[in-house]
Structure 1
């Protein structure tokens, strides 16, 4: 019995001393075990993470869709289907004014929440963009921080103060000739198409017009139409990549998988390079050299270079921002205005009557005079209520650890106040989902609109980051609608096949909306 012990030991030692015998066995044993553990981890970790999110997460007590509480699948499905606004409105109707729409994300639908999230707190605490999808992408998309993307409050205040002179009432008056020039060209172009009794996409016409306006104001000359095509392709690409961006956001909030958060960027790097090359720096320099005393956005940016110490990349970034964001929001709103007033023809006829009684020729229509047309202005106002330009995933913030509308939201939770839902909330608005411009004119005691909560109307956001270019956008919209209505008797050609709420895509921006018009038969 004793002699067998050294034999076994020697055999054991022998095995260890013969690499060609032992190595393959050790390799397969080690990697087989590792594969088993990795497999178990791969199966167990999502289950453990899901259980944690559902039962133990700091916002686990907030109601919402089950799948949204354990994973990003609900948001991924919503943005991939381009129904984000509609889906969030539905879950608020089902679960109430605060809904959990992601493992670490809450959506609010109250006026108080909107004010709390977007205004500085009394104790100095504030809800930051740092950590949201927008801030994560900003570093990859833009050449330098700009008014929209900077997460530093001091830097944002410095930029806004420096750029504000381009958006004052005085500046708008000085810029009117530029706007009038492009509006007149667009009206003439629309007229030439309508003369042939064709069905025309007014969305395409006003989109090209706004592109020319914001390009002219931002760079001192209209941007080439091939650059508009580049931007539209970029929007399309982002739309297709939206599910990856939601996964990207989820991974950055998950300690175990945080290192994988850059995977979507690695897979589709071309998505994140387009805006940086949107306008070449030498083109901007050429625009600067040709300024010659013009009054436009570029004038303010040049002034800010001195007063706020803007670098060349920051100048480029802010110019591109004004062009792209100004184009997208204004073009969408203009299309939506024509959609609403033409879908129910009596609105368009009433706007027409008001304008034709006020002017004897289209040349008399000015930015100042259209401010005195009540029905035109409330039609635009009601459009902005039903179709706010600030929507989707662009107004999210990270909680500093604060109370929102009576609910304590821990630090690090992603929060938003959904303007689309707030603007269509029956508790705030009579006939909430109906286009009723009269609500802004006839809302006294005894009227159906008496109890509308008009302070909840915030189409351009609220607080320090309220849209700086809102008055410029409204100026272009008023002039365009007034001149088109004065000049043409129109009717909507696709009224039976296109419903904005049903057919227009929405996720990060609006897309796939086509308002077709033709001459009205008399």
Structure 2
């Protein structure tokens, strides 16, 4: 359908067939971006892989992402950072469990995701006392920017109002970008000082993501580009992962028999004598089915990031004018009754059944595209899937989970709040009970 959002013509694709037309058949024409005012703050879009326009510079960023940062070899080399951070999260939850405290799942997952990214990018724990102030500033500024990105902004719908910035979105985004950039610059400057002699010649397995990016520095890929790219990694990686974990735990607490099935599978594959490893998740088909079902019902980005038609094209007999905004309604596709049986129910078994077991979210099955597809598909997908599966498996392997006292499983709040990501309106709090021997924690 076509809708007019202020002065912006927008076409919405709400079926898997139309999503395929947009993201595959006409992908070369519809890979542009309609820039929101927030992304223009401090010219962030010029260094961003998320908001940057499709072109030679964007293709270079994507090539570095796919071949260097998120390659199988790089992710394997950085696996120990993810394992260490997950173990720290489990230890912290164990301490809360011993004290009988409720755990805010979304907050715990965000903290862990954020610090996990910090260790992979900077090779250090960004929440250590040495970096505590800087990391807290980064996290706070990032949270505010994500809210500003999601704010319906009159200046985006009516460009004539841009110079007024009536809601202060541009102004406030600029303030918080400046805070994030200052933190990034500090980490980058520290690394440049130490990048000499032995530190420059570190082995492949010792190099973090910042090392890789600095090695790619050139006239076309400057320190400004590196700073903007790192900002994207933290913005896109921490919030979406935490949101997915929180929805997964919500659905499993509401469906305790399905939680038991995941835990039985973990007991068979992992046992109770060690912690979960990333390599285990490939042998956990029901856990992977749970993640797919969560992404179907609760896609982190329900409309993806809107595309833009860089030229006129025709889809299904209709003309799409140049500069039309294109929205793919992933949320509606995931609940399409013509594709999914009982689409509103949480049924991970649907991805175990023979006829749908091959459906995956890697951009080839357009009935399940929470990460998008085509040129603009999320470049961090390989990392995101590792993080989500490892975090969720570790939470379920290490603890039993129950809603707070006085609340039954079917009373757990399921309302959501729409923004750039689809978050729970009421944060999930749950009571953990250790499942393993205490020395394991």
**Is 1:499 the equivalent of 2:413?**
yes
Deviation, structure 1 residue 156: 1.4
Cα distance in 2 for partners of 1:142, 1:361 equals 51
Change (3 A) 1:141 1:195: farther
Structure with larger Rg: 1
Deviation, structure 1 residue 461: 0.3
Residue range with higher mean Cα deviation, 456-465 or 479-488: 479-488
Match of 1:390 among 275, 283, 301: 301
Contact 2:34 2:307 in 1 (8 A): no
Contact 1:379 1:437 in 2 (8 A): yes
| 1:170-221 residue CA offsets vs partner (Å, 9 max, x unmatched) | 1111111000111000001011101122222121111100010112222333
Contact 1:218 1:320 in 2 (8 A): no
Match of 2:14 among 88, 109, 116: 109
Cα distance in 2 for partners of 1:238, 1:390 equals 12
Deviation, structure 1 residue 142: 5.1
Contact 1:117 1:416 in 2 (8 A): no
Cα distance in 1 for partners of 2:430, 2:157 equals 43
Cα distance in 2 for partners of 1:378, 1:393 equals 22
Deviation, structure 1 residue 251: 1.4
2:111 alignment counterpart: 208
Match of 1:347 among 253, 258, 276: 258
Map of 1:140-151 to 2, 5 A cutoff?
A: 140-141=41-42, 143=44, 144-151=46-53
**Is 1:163 the equivalent of 2:65?**
yes
Deviation, structure 1 residue 498: 4.3
Give the 3-state SS of the residue equivalent to 1:517 in structure 2. strand
Cα RMSD for the two superposed structures: 2.9
**Is 1:508 the equivalent of 2:405?**
no
1:283 alignment counterpart: 187
Deviation, structure 1 residue 438: 0.7
2:100 alignment counterpart: 197
1:270 alignment counterpart: 172
Change (3 A) 1:435 1:161: same
TM-score (norm 1): 0.71
Contact 1:178 1:213 in 2 (8 A): yes
Cα distance in 2 for partners of 1:362, 1:150 equals 47
Cα distance in 2 for partners of 1:381, 1:275 equals 33
Cα distance in 2 for partners of 1:424, 1:358 equals 32
Cα distance in 2 for partners of 1:417, 1:236 equals 21
Contact 1:370 1:479 in 2 (8 A): yes
Greater fraction helix: 1
| 1:61-109 residue CA offsets vs partner (Å, 9 max, x unmatched) | x67xxxx65x64xxxxxxxxxxxxxxxxxxxxxxxxxxxxx86222111
Contact 2:401 2:433 in 1 (8 A): yes
User: Greater relative contact order: 1 or 2 (C-alpha under 8 angstroms, separation 6 or more)?
Assistant: 2
Cα distance in 2 for partners of 1:332, 1:141 equals 28
1:56 alignment counterpart: none
Cα distance in 1 for partners of 2:24, 2:366 equals 15
Contact 2:70 2:382 in 1 (8 A): yes
Deviation, structure 1 residue 492: 2.9
Cα distance in 1 for partners of 2:177, 2:389 equals 30
Deviation, structure 1 residue 267: 4.1
Gaps of 5+ in 2: 127-134, 436-441
2:213 alignment counterpart: 301
Contact 2:265 2:284 in 1 (8 A): yes
TM-score (norm 2): 0.83
